[in-house]
Structure formats: structure tokens, C-alpha cells
Amino acid sequence: MWDSDLVSVIVPVYNVEKYLERCVCSILSQTYKNIEVILVDDGSYDKSGEICDRLAKEDSRIRVIHKQNGGLSSARNAGIDASSGAYIGFVDSDDYISPVMIEKLYSAVRDTDSQIAVTGRVDKYEDAREVVSFKTDSVQRFDRKDAVRELLLKRIMDVSACDKLFKRELFEDIRFPLGETNEDNAVMFKLLLRCDGVVHTDSADYYYCHRGESISVSMNTKKALLMDKNAEANAELIRGIYPELEREIIIYTGMHKMLFYHTLLKIKVYGGAISNEEKEILRSSKAFIKKNYRYLMENADAEKNLRTQLRLIKFNLYEPVLRLKRLIKGK
């Protein structure tokens, strides 16, 4: 296989002293050796920065950036700006990757003349559960429109930047939006629209570790509003280029409306305050879901819980069920 192109792996670091070494060691242990690891210490106040510096002394492939806290997007952007690789990948500092992930992704983009390669993901939970997501049985290449379709339907990939390898040119004038926690959703469709091809490997090599305190697993009104805004923007972007994907756009929008609806309704049921604007979005989200119920059910056939939620919304039972759950829990 080729082993000439430098691959830059960008790792944003913020208060992850318990997990950082495991993450970095998994990257340094790659079978593909021509890598640079850019650790971006985003103003950590634990020992993460010290760990970064120590690891850099132990392996010359590591570069460390220390900066004031600016959030995940700011850290990733700093890593992109400092990187030298022909290809760029991202790993969150509390996650880790299999020893062959970069080799497989790099071989896939080169073998298929693609600009993005995607691997499946293993979701690891604190109760020791492991759930494999987005794994395929064979290597599959998609042209631009089909890749957009797959991302809309979220069947074999989602908007996460961390389980992918990108050709550097894709980021020529694209950066992650500052101050947002829904940063991947804001850029991934734009990146796909610059590709001639996206390839999916036949393995699951990214280990996504769910933690209770992690920014990625927390949901609040602000994050839900941002997700809704980004989903609407993506829908309009794709609709303007591929109007023939309207069914897929409806499903994509509907899935985000469901998440938004659940988040706001749960806040309301458990005694939280929601604004008049949020009440209106709650009403419009429910109306959208009910209007497009058939499309959403067709796409949710493999997810029992999702189908149940759709039925509850359709028959106006979602809020009563949430209130019953609250009563049973005694909260």
C-alpha cells in the first residue's frame, strides 16, 4: 500500500487527564506510521496539558498547541491551521481508535479515488454495553448525491467528523463554527458536496466512549435549538442542489424535529421553563412529525423505540406518557 502521504490526526484536549493517554497511545500504535498527532490543549485546568507535553517528548510525531479555552470548534480549527498532512482526521480525546483505522481509511480513499473515507463506530457505555453503529458488510463507494442521501438517512454514517478521513483540500475555506456544540452538523454536508466520492470501509474502528459529563451526550434547550437551526439550513442547502431528494430531506428534518420535540417536552414536563418561541417550535415540530408520519415510519422500521415514539406523537400520547414516567419515578 502507499505510505507516502502524511496524515494529520487532530485531537482537541480539554480536562481529560483520565482518558488522554489511552487516546493518544491508540493513535501512535497505528499500523500506518506516517502520521502527525496534533494535540490542542484548549485551556485545560487539570493535568491534560502536562500529559500532552510529556507525550510529545516521548514521540516526535506529536505536536502540542496550548491555547485559551475556545471550545471544540476553536480547538479543531487551530489543529487544521497547524496541520501539514495531505489528509486530516479527528479523534476526540476521551475516545480511541483501533490499530488499523488510519491504514484502512487511507487505503480506501486511495484505492477508490475518493475524498472522504468513513468507518463504522463502536459506542461504548459506562455500564459496559457496546453497540456497533454504521458498519457495512463490504467496502462501498458513493458518488456525491448518493453520499448525501446516505447522510440524510443516517443509515451507514452520520455527521460525526471523528470516524472519517478527509482529503485536506476539502477544508480549504471551511472551518467548524465557533461557539456551537452542534459543530459537525454545521459542516459535514458542505464537505460532502465538495467530494466526487465517499467510501465506507467494511469495519468499525472508532470507539466512541459515552460519559455522563461529556458535552456530546448532554442535551439542553440551547443545543436543541441549534440542532434545529442547522438541520433547517442543511435541508435548504440540499433541496437547492438535489430537489429529487425531497423524501430523504423530509426524513432527515423529521428526525431532528423529533429530538427537538422530545428535549423541549421533557424540560416542560419536569418543570423547566420554555419561552414562547420554544413553545411555538414545539407546536410546529409536532405538526411536521404528524404530517410526515408515513415517511418517518418507513425510515424507522429497524428502530423499535423510534417507531413507538412516532406513534405516541401521532396520537397525542407523548406528553401523557412522559408525565406518567415522571410520576412513577417520583420526580
Task: Look up the CATH superfamily of 7-209.
Answer: Spore Coat Polysaccharide Biosynthesis Protein SpsA; Chain A (3.90.550.10)
Q: Which pLDDT value is given to residue 216?
A: 46
In angstroms, the CA 224 to CA 312 distance is 20
Q: Which pLDDT value is given to residue 3?
A: 55
Cell output for 141 = 463507494
Q: Check if the beta carbon of residue 65 is closer than 8 Å to that of residue 39.
A: yes
Q: Report helix angle 276-291 to 304-314, nearest 10.
A: 110
Which pTM was predicted? 0.90
Residue 204 DSSP label: E
Q: Which pLDDT value is given to residue 273?
A: 80
Q: Which pLDDT value is given to residue 179?
A: 81
Q: In the chain, which residues have pLDDT < 50?
A: 1-2, 214-217
What would the pLDDT profile of 110-160 be if each residue is shown by its tens digit?
Answer: 999 999 999 999 999 988 888 899 999 999 999 999 999 999 999 899 999
Residue 244, amino acid: E
In angstroms, the CA 20 to CA 17 distance is 5
The domain limits of the chain are 7-209, 221-329
What would the pLDDT profile of 48-77 be if each residue is shown by its tens digit?
Answer: 999 999 999 999 999 999 999 999 999 999
C-beta neighbour count of 262 within 10 angstroms: 17
In angstroms, the CA 277 to CA 213 distance is 28
Cell output for 150 = 446516505
C-beta neighbour count of 154 within 10 angstroms: 15
